[in-house]
Amino acid sequence: MQRQVLERWLSVGVMFGLGAMIIYKWQTNRLNLYIHPRYTGLLVATAVVLLLAAVGMALTKAPAIPKRMLALLTIPVAFALLVPARPLGANLVSGKALNANSSDNLLARWKTNLSDDSKSWTLLEWTTAVRQSDLEVLRNKQAAFEGFVYRTPDLPADEVLVGRYVVTCCTADGTALSLRVKATNGADFSNDQWVRVEGTFVPAEINGSIVPQIAGTLVSIEMPSSPYLYP
């Protein structure tokens, strides 16, 4: 009997903890570090159900939930407590394939959304244009977009890659995109610093190949409240 009571209260605690964690992440605007905003309402509704179920179990002395289900509910609670919420960044570049040719299907679908004003383009729209257009057509177009700095050993001191992740469902499916930027103050920035790129699209010849590049300056900014781009 004592064991059954312990298991029931453990079930109550885990369900209540998971529901409370989701509500807390929602109230502190951190859910967008995990999922696409379109799923926020569904996740919050799930949290409310969990909280009500936990209270109901506590008041009615209902039997504990099965151990396997309890284990599944415990995992996200433990993960949230042990791993602070943080956006994807330069440390996950290799696994997310940060380059201008990522996700051809995504870019092809996005091409129809391009406006004529290149200064309004985000990194997703710039990557789309670069991937789907002749680079000479884009030459001298004005650029003004935001992203985080990512450096590779082969880049000169005044050149960086500026990247950002595209999330269609959750961070697990995040796709990283980037553009090379030659900036007069490029040497002042290191990995994961958020910047605003202001410059002009000028393709560069590197090792016999023409590569997309923005020439201009970098302006230090705070990380946006929504660090990902959502197609």
Domains of the chain and CATH, by start: 2-82 (no CATH), 90-220 (2.40.50)
The span from the CA of 168 to the CA of 12, in Å, is 33
Task: Check if the beta carbon of residue 56 is closer than 8 Å to that of residue 192.
Answer: no
Amino acid residing at 23: I
The span from the CA of 163 to the CA of 175, in Å, is 10
Q: What is the mean pLDDT of each run of 10 residues along the chain (231 residues)?
A: 75 88 89 87 92 88 76 76 71 51 56 75 86 85 93 87 87 82 90 94 84 93 88 75
Burial of 44 (C-beta count, 10 Å sphere; 0-12/13-18/19+): middle
- For residue 100, what pLDDT is reported? 43
The span from the CA of 213 to the CA of 160, in Å, is 10
The span from the CA of 47 to the CA of 73, in Å, is 12
DSSP code for 222 = P
Residue 95 backbone phi and psi in degrees, to 5:
-75, -25
The span from the CA of 190 to the CA of 96, in Å, is 19
Encoding tokens for residue 154?
């082969």
